[in-house]
Amino acid sequence: MKMGVSLLMAAAAMLGLSGAASAQQTLEQVRSRGNLNCQVGLPTPGFYALAANGTWSGMDVDMCRAVAAAIFNDPSKVQYQSVTSAVRFTSLANGESDMLSRTTTWTAVRDGQLGLEFAGVNFYDGQGFVVPRSSGITSARQLDGATVCVLTGTTTELNLADYFRANNMRFTAVTNENVNVLVETYLGGGCDAYTNDKSGLAARRSAFPTPNDHVILPETISKEPLGPVVRHGDNNWGDIVRWVLFGMIEAEEMGVSSANVTQMLQSPNPGIKRLLGTEGNVGQGMGLPADFMVRVLRHVGNYGEVYERNVGANTPIGIPRERSLNALWTNGGILYPMPFR
Amino acid sequence: MSQSSAPPTAAIRRPATTPMRLGAFVNDATVRAIFYQAVTFAAVVGLIWYLVSNTIANMATRGMSAGFDFLDVSAGFNIAFTLIPYREGDSYLRVFQVGIANTLLVAVIGIVFASALGLVVGLARLSTNWLIRTLARWYVEVLRNTPLLLQIIAWYFGVFNLLPRPRESIALGGFMWLNNRGAYFPAPVPQDGFETVLGALALAVGAAIAVSVWARRRLRETGRAFPAGLVGFALVAGVPLLVYLALGAPLGWNWPALRGFNFVGGFSVPPAFCALVVALSIYTSCFIAEIVRAGIQSVGHGQTEAARALGVKPSRTMRFIILPQAMRVIIPPLISQYLNLTKNSSLAIAIGFPDLVSVWMNTSLNQSGRAIPIVAMTMGFYCVVSLIVSFALNAYNRRILLRER
């Protein structure tokens, strides 16, 4: 009988615990919690790098900081969650993270079946291979029979299989969910090539003991549009992340940066006025103040600043932006923010 | 469930002929017991129903797909090592089967090695030789007291990943090659007539069993021993060999050959497999060694002395007197160790060996996004395997239990 009663009590306790969070209130939850739970990956130079003093930086980290700045006027109000790629979507779907900003590829299955919403693209990438220079390999077509290191649970894993199947080549995969284990295996000679998004390869190579002993092969075997992701169902929250991203690109297009944002508040240009909220109120419908982009630009900067600071030509990662997909549409790239009005 | 309900006694239970009033009904221990059982049962069923429906409802609000329809979908990723045939275009269900086969392979090989190693080390712990005894003790104490995960990673990075590259492979005896991509062996290729050899093997095994049964009966009835083990071995090894040679050796070998990046052909296992099997076997062997030692020490020394007094040879004393009694102590904890090894094989994920947890609960879950069906299937598999192993060894344990006459 005692056991029966305790079982009933356990049941009651679980009933109390399992109230599901409604989908429509991420912004209120973030506000009342006082910080943004932003999921990044295991530390990767350029995108989500972890400094020795424990601070995060990088392209994707700046996305988190920009959203926090728009909400709190304080980019430091972010709780970073560093999670392996294999559990990233589960962690977002069950509410542990408010958003995910970690070089995640936008695909139909992820968008449609995993309860996710892609807010936009902050980096256009493609998958490539890195091989030791001493191997003498100059093209991915020479990799028939090779052993390839690949992160498990990623689109790269699927693209890799597709590429070898399409070209009628064979390969052996060495998989792991931990990128550090893979890189260690590759450097130890456990695989002939390491494959990932090319930005990721460049970032990783910059941290190799001797980066120049490794070459990134010219082939790009897939499209990898990377961007921030939110849970499906809270459209307003998705809008916030999307328009913070568009706003940063729009700001670059209009020449507004962290350096001149204060002067630009006086600008007579109607486009800049709308962006900075001195005319109209874009933020209102999303539950943000009219000047949310001023906050973002002041604390984080525009897209160009974020790019150059983290992965640009003058950083160790050194991914040139000119004439790449990630240039503005006005400069021959495909970064095209939707109209900010 | 309702264990505290008192057994019905004559004082409480009323004769059936007495008309029952409500108070008496409530005070009836049997009725109360049934009532509490029913309430508990309803609560458990209700709880499960609530949890399941709550999960389904929440997944629906979040736009996540549930259900098992994804099992037919093509998985599309490569698996580095598969015991059963698998191609990228195969379904998720096939991936599940591949994972199960790989996990069982690791578990079976690990259990065989761990048992053999454990037995040797356990006997060494009891050796009269100081050096052997001390070495065995250090082996157990050091390896048992460091985390298994660290040992697996150490074997992977510290040993198998540091082997030479394919071009400088280590050749072992001319039929096995080791390099940092794995271990390579020639693979047998059965040709016409090999089924006959297998048939002969089956017949020989049957004959050997019959001989051993007959020898045991003869020993019991007449007291005369018959070398059944030796004869059985001769049958099992000799008969198929003769048939094999008579048919003109109908078995080809597919030899691995260095071509391009690596060895091609033959049979190979990746470094992660070697690291996993070695680490699991060695780690578990420490526990088995202690179990063997404890089992042998649990048999009173008087038994040995009595055997010696009767003039029984030391080897026979161990085989017929000590070990049968020690087995009763050894088997129950040994079951736990076998189950532990099987479940510990899921640590393969750390070094990327494609066992069930790695290909199914990690890769497939992440590629398909069906967390709940996938986790449920994985848990179901481990549960079923553990129960089967446990059932089999418990049955064996019951057979060797002390039978009092």
Strands B251-254 and B187-190: antiparallel
Q: Read off the CATH number of the domain in which B284 is found.
A: 1.10.3720.10
Distance CA A1, CA A6 (A): 9
DSSP string, A110-172: HHHHBSEEE---SEEE-EEEEEEGGG---SGGGGTTEEEEEETTSHHHHHHHHHHHHTT--EE
Separation of first and last alpha carbons in chain A: 67
- Residue A119's Cβ-count burial label (10 Å; 0-12, 13-18, 19+) is buried
Residues on chain A touching B366 (C-beta within 8 angstroms)? 85-89, 152-154
Q: Flag whether pLDDT at A189 surpasses 90.
A: no
**Same-domain check for residues B152 and B298:** yes
Mean pLDDT computed over A106-112: 87
Amino acid at A191: C
**Same-domain check for residues B152 and B30:** no
DSSP-derived letter for residue B147 is -
Q: Flag whether pLDDT at A31 surpasses 60.
A: yes
Q: Is residue B189 part of a domain?
A: no
Q: Is residue B77 part of a domain?
A: no
Mean pLDDT computed over A78-100: 88
Least CB–CB distance from B64: residue in A2, A93, A146 = A93
**Same-domain check for residues B20 and B153:** no
Range of the domain at B44: 1-58
Mapping DSSP to helix (H, G, I), strand (E, B) and coil, where does residue B247 land? coil
**Same-domain check for residues B6 and B106:** no
Mean pLDDT computed over B345-365: 90
**Same-domain check for residues B12 and B153:** no
Q: Is residue B41 part of a domain?
A: yes
Q: Does B346 touch chain A (CB under 8 A)?
A: no
Confidence of residue B196 (pLDDT cuts 50, 70, 90): confident
**Same-domain check for residues B4 and B52:** yes
Least CB–CB distance from A115: residue in B64, B264, B351 = B64
Q: What is the pLDDT of residues B217-271, one digit of tens each?
A: 888 888 887 888 888 888 888 888 888 888 877 788 888 888 778 888 788 888 9
Q: What percent of chain B has pLDDT over 90?
A: 36
Distance CA B281, CA B268 (A): 20
Q: Flag whether pLDDT at B61 surpasses 80.
A: no
Q: Is residue B193 part of a domain?
A: no
The pLDDT score that the predictor gives to residue B2 is: 45
The pLDDT score that the predictor gives to residue B309 is: 94
Mean pLDDT computed over B343-363: 90
The pLDDT score that the predictor gives to residue A68 is: 96
Q: What is the pLDDT of residues B131-177, one digit of tens each?
A: 999 999 999 999 999 999 999 999 998 998 888 888 888 888 878 88
**Same-domain check for residues B5 and B150:** no
**Number of domains present in the structure of chain B:** 2
Q: Do A113 and B65 touch (CB under 8 A)?
A: yes
The pLDDT score that the predictor gives to residue A6 is: 47
**Same-domain check for residues B143 and B276:** yes
Q: Flag whether pLDDT at A10 surpasses 50.
A: no
Q: Do B40 and A184 touch (CB under 8 A)?
A: no
Convert B133-159 to b/e letters by CB count within 10 Å (16 or more is b): eeebeebbeebbeeebeebbbebbbee
Q: Does B181 touch chain A (CB under 8 A)?
A: yes
Q: Do B352 and A146 touch (CB under 8 A)?
A: no
Q: Flag whether pLDDT at A276 surpasses 90.
A: yes
Q: Of A226-235, B7-16, B195-204, where does mean pLDDT reach its minimum?
A: B7-16
Domains and CATH numbers, chain A: 23-124+226-331 (3.40.190.10), 127-222 (3.40.190.10)
Q: Are A71 and A30 in contact (CB under 8 A)?
A: yes
Q: Is residue B238 part of a domain?
A: no
The pLDDT score that the predictor gives to residue A24 is: 54
Residues on chain B touching A229 (C-beta within 8 angstroms)? none
Choose the final residue of a domain: B9, B32, B58: B58
DSSP-derived letter for residue B145 is T
Distance CA A151, CA A160 (A): 11
Q: Flag whether pLDDT at A15 surpasses 90.
A: no
Amino acid at B65: S
Q: What are residue B358's phi and psi, to 5 degrees?
A: -70, -50
Q: Cα Rg for chain B, rounded, in angstroms? A: 29
Q: Is residue B108 part of a domain?
A: yes
Q: Is residue B259 part of a domain?
A: no
Q: State which residue of chain B sits closest to A193, comparing Cα positions.
A: B261
**Same-domain check for residues B151 and B276:** yes
Mapping DSSP to helix (H, G, I), strand (E, B) and coil, where does residue B268 land? strand
Q: Flag whether pLDDT at A21 surpasses 70.
A: no
Q: Of A291-305, B46-60, B93-107, where does mean pLDDT reach its minimum?
A: B46-60
Mean pLDDT of chain B: 86
Cα dihedral sign, B305-B310-B313-B316: negative
Q: State which residue of chain A sits closest to B362, comparing Cα positions.
A: A86
Q: Do A3 and B358 touch (CB under 8 A)?
A: no
Q: Of A181-195, B169-183, B332-346, where does mean pLDDT reach its minimum?
A: B169-183
Residues on chain A touching B54 (C-beta within 8 angstroms)? 18, 20
Q: Flag whether pLDDT at A20 surpasses 90.
A: no
User: What six digits make up the tokens of A43?
Assistant: 């530390």
The pLDDT score that the predictor gives to residue B18 is: 55
Q: Of A64-68, A78-82, B316-320, where does mean pLDDT reach its minimum?
A: B316-320
The pLDDT score that the predictor gives to residue B12 is: 53
**Same-domain check for residues B31 and B96:** no
Distance CA B231, CA B83 (A): 35
**Of B283, B2, B10, residue with least CA distance to B140:** B283
Amino acid at A224: E
**Same-domain check for residues B293 and B387:** yes
Mean pLDDT computed over A322-336: 92
Of A3, A174, A182, A187, which to mutate for an interface test with B (greatest number of B Cβ within 10 Å)?
A174
**Same-domain check for residues B152 and B47:** no
**Per mean pLDDT, which of A242-246, B229-233, B328-332, B384-388 is the most reliable?**
A242-246
The pLDDT score that the predictor gives to residue B31 is: 87
Choose the final residue of a domain: B58, B79, B107: B58
Mean pLDDT computed over B296-300: 89
Q: Does B265 touch chain A (CB under 8 A)?
A: no
